[in-house]
Amino acid sequence: MISAIVYNSKTGSCERYAKELSRKLVIPCYAQGSFRPRADAKVIYVSWIMAGKVVGLSKAVKKMDVGAVVAVGMAPAGKKAAEAMRQASGLPAHVGFFLVQGGFHIDKLPLPMKLIMRWKVKDIAARLEEKKRTAPLSAQEQATYEMAKRGDGEPAAWDVDEIVAWVMAEFDDEKILRQH
Ligand SMILES: Cc1cc2nc3c(=O)[nH]c(=O)nc-3n(C[C@H](O)[C@H](O)[C@H](O)COP(=O)(O)O)c2cc1C
């Protein structure tokens, strides 16, 4: 059974995903640091990706029983990338690992991150601009392109249905209300 959703969010995307999961699964959600779980409490950990890594995950797995991870990044999300990230994070196969697209808001970032991302997004936008010349971009690629180009933007969708279905199948019990 999952007892809580714990999130780590810099600019709001992980918080939004955590709250959406909380609403659909009827499980409370907390910001990381504001929640001290019981030793036997299993949680879903939602955090953002920085330079290919899930921020705070190694600390989270030491302190909590993490049953699933939701990794939020501005890049298009794919199953192969999710599996590679799960393995690189050292998580066993039974831990659910979901990679989803979040937003990007350069103005909400602290200065050092803002500076890093200012040149990084130019590179991302140029790469997608190049791709656009030969093939249409997917909805997620287009969202990444717009975020990179403008320094601000939303993902193609805020969809948690796959995660909800996995949690229900994996931790099915009377505490989870079927809402959809
Ligand atoms: C310094 C920095 C590095 C980032 N690196 C990546 C990355 O490697 N891959 C990715 O998909 N997104 C990357 N992002 C984008 C964030 O993961 C994305 O904006 C996410 O939605 C932020 O979540 P939050 O709004 O909850 O903070 C990076 C953002 C910053 C500020």
Q: 55-93: string of b/e by CB count within 10 Å (b at 16+)?
A: bbbeebbeebbbbbbbbbbbbbbeeebbeebbeebebee
pLDDT classification of 180: cutoffs 50, 70, 90: very low
| Residue 73 CB–ligand 1 contact under 6 Å | yes
Supply the pLDDT for residue 37: 77
User: Which CATH entry fits the domain spanning 1-103+155-180: 3.40.50.720, 3.40.50.360, 3.30.930.10, 3.30.565.10?
Assistant: 3.40.50.360
The domain segmentation of the chain, as residue ranges, is 1-103+155-180, 106-153
For 105, the token pair is 């808001």
Q: Which of 48, 99, 128 to mutate to test the pocket of ligand 1 (most atoms within 8 A of CB)?
A: 48
Atom 19 in ligand 1: which residue has the minimum CA distance?
104
pLDDT band at 173 (very low <50, low <70, confident <90, very high): low
Hey, which of 6, 8, 32, 49 would you mutate to test ligand 1's pocket, going by the most ligand atoms within 8 Å of its Cβ? 49
* pTM, full prediction: 0.95
Q: Average pLDDT in the 46-60 region?
A: 96
pLDDT of residue 39: 75
pLDDT for 177 equals 52
For residues 9-31, b (16+ Cβ closer than 10 Å) or e, as one string?
A: bbbebbbbbbbbbbebbebebbe
Instruction: Please state, rounded to an integer, the average pLDDT across all residues of the chain.
Output: 93
What is 104-116 written as a DSSP string?
A: EEGGGS-HHHHHH
For residue range 80-118, list pLDDT tens digits in order: 999 999 999 999 999 999 999 999 999 999 999 999 999
Sign of the torsion formed by the C-alpha atoms of 56, 21, 23 and 176: negative
Coil vs helix vs strand at 47: strand
